[in-house]
């Protein structure tokens, strides 16, 4: 049995990753798991399991009584890095209806739920036009509804990226009317009626291509015990955590983390974290706010 990973086809390697995922998270895997997930034959499933053993002989052993392979005591991941974020992302996607149950690699789902998020009305045709314009480096004419104007108006924009602020989807684009880069909410694009070549270069969007670092720490008025809890929540080291964010998304990041207001305006138990480099970051956020078209 070959054990050179460089020679593996993509489909084979994906099935080996699946075996490892099931071993790590479920503790067992068998032929029927592979057959159900990938639609392969009994022989192919057996071949995949044997191939996995050739790469990682200590990772699983066959339990005759349970008629399944179980995770070995000396298990060490070979094909994927066990990632809690990936596991939880699958649960979140299932909860939101984004991922179908049969597409999840999780066998025995724990009870799960998530706080509801309002559905954002992004039209598929609108998204297709924006993505197409990004791929072709084109400008498109959109009828856009902003909060600052009572009536929607047509404008030409040259999109170059898609962004998510934690709640809503945007496109980052050069606005030909205002001659600057701005954020446009996809849900506020009412119509798209034309496309043309664009001279705008994504490389000129300095706020998109530069980053700032948020330095956060527990609120100073929390008790030592409370502060330690917050350090665990945010994966802090030495009482601090550093969070990198694109300057173009800084305003949204601060708002989502509750760092856009004076920490003294809320109780420490509600505020929980503070910016240790607040003056520098808030100054940057004010500059970036002037470059948004979502207001």
pLDDT of residue 294: 47
pLDDT for the residue numbered 212? 94
**Whole-angstrom Cα distance, residue 141 to residue 137?**
14
Q: How does residue 295 score in pLDDT terms, banded at 50, 70 and 90?
A: very low
- Quickly list H helices, 2-83: 10-26, 31-38, 42-55
Judged against a pLDDT cut of 60, whether residue 116 lies above it is answered with: yes
Over range 157-186, report the average pLDDT.
95
pLDDT confidence of residue 234: 93
Least confident of 38-47, 90-99, 195-204, 234-243: 90-99
Angle at 22 between CA 17 and CA 27, to 5 degrees: 140
pLDDT score at 286: 65
Q: What is the mean pLDDT of the chain?
A: 91
- Over range 150-165, report the average pLDDT: 95
Please, which residues bridge with residue 245 across strands?
212
**Number of neighbouring beta carbons within 10 Å of residue 195:** 15
Q: Does the pLDDT at position 142 exceed 60? A: yes
**What's the pTM?**
0.76
pLDDT value at residue 291: 52
Question: Exposed, middle or buried, 97 (CB in 10 Å: 0-12/13-18/19+)?
Answer: exposed
| pLDDT tier, 3 (very low <50, low <70, confident <90, very high otherwise) | low
- What pLDDT score does 120 carry? 66
The tens digit of pLDDT for each residue in 198-210 reads: 999 999 999 999 9
DSSP 178-196: TTEEEEEEGGGEEEEEEEE
Phi, psi of 190 (to 5 degrees): -80, -35
- Residue of 161, 168, 12 whose CA lies nearest to 79: 12
Q: How confident is the model at residue 58 (pLDDT cuts 50, 70, 90)?
A: very high
- What is the chain's Cα-based Rg? 25
Cα separation, 163 vs 235, whole angstroms: 25
Which range has the worst mean pLDDT, 94-103, 129-138, 217-226?
A: 94-103
pLDDT (0 to 100) of residue 92: 87
């Amino acid at each position: 049995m070959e054990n050179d990973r460089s020679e593996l086809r993509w489909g084979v390697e994906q099935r080996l990753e699946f075996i490892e995922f099931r071993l790590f998270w479920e503790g067992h895997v068998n032929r029927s798991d592979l057959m159900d997930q990938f639609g392969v034959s009994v022989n192919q499933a057996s071949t995949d399991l044997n191939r996995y053993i050739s790469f990682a002989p200590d990772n699983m052993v066959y339990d005759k009584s349970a008629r399944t392979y179980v995770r070995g005591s000396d298990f060490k991941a070979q094909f994927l890095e066990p990632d809690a974020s990936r596991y939880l992302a699958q649960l979140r996607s299932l909860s939101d209806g984004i991922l179908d149950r049969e597409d999840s690699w999780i066998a025995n789902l724990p009870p799960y739920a998530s706080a509801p998020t309002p559905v954002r009305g992004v039209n598929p045709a609108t998204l297709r036009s924006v993505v197409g314009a990004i791929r072709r480096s084109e400008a498109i004419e959109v009828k856009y509804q902003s909060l600052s104007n009572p009536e929607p108006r047509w404008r030409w924009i040259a999109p170059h990226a898609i962004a998510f602020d934690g709640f809503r989807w945007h496109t980052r684009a050069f606005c030909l009317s205002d001659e600057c880069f701005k954020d446009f909410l996809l849900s506020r694009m009412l119509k798209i009626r034309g496309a043309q070549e664009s001279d705008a270069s994504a490389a000129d969007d300095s706020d998109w291509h530069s980053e700032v670092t948020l330095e956060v720490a527990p609120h100073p008025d929390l008790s030592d015990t409370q502060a330690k809890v917050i350090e665990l929540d945010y994966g802090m080291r030495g009482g601090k955590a550093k969070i990198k964010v694109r300057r173009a998304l800084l305003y949204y990041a601060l708002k989502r983390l509750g760092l856009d207001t004076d920490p003294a305006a809320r109780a420490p138990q509600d505020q929980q974290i503070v910016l240790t480099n607040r003056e520098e970051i808030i100054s940057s956020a004010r500059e970036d706010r002037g470059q948004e078209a979502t207001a």
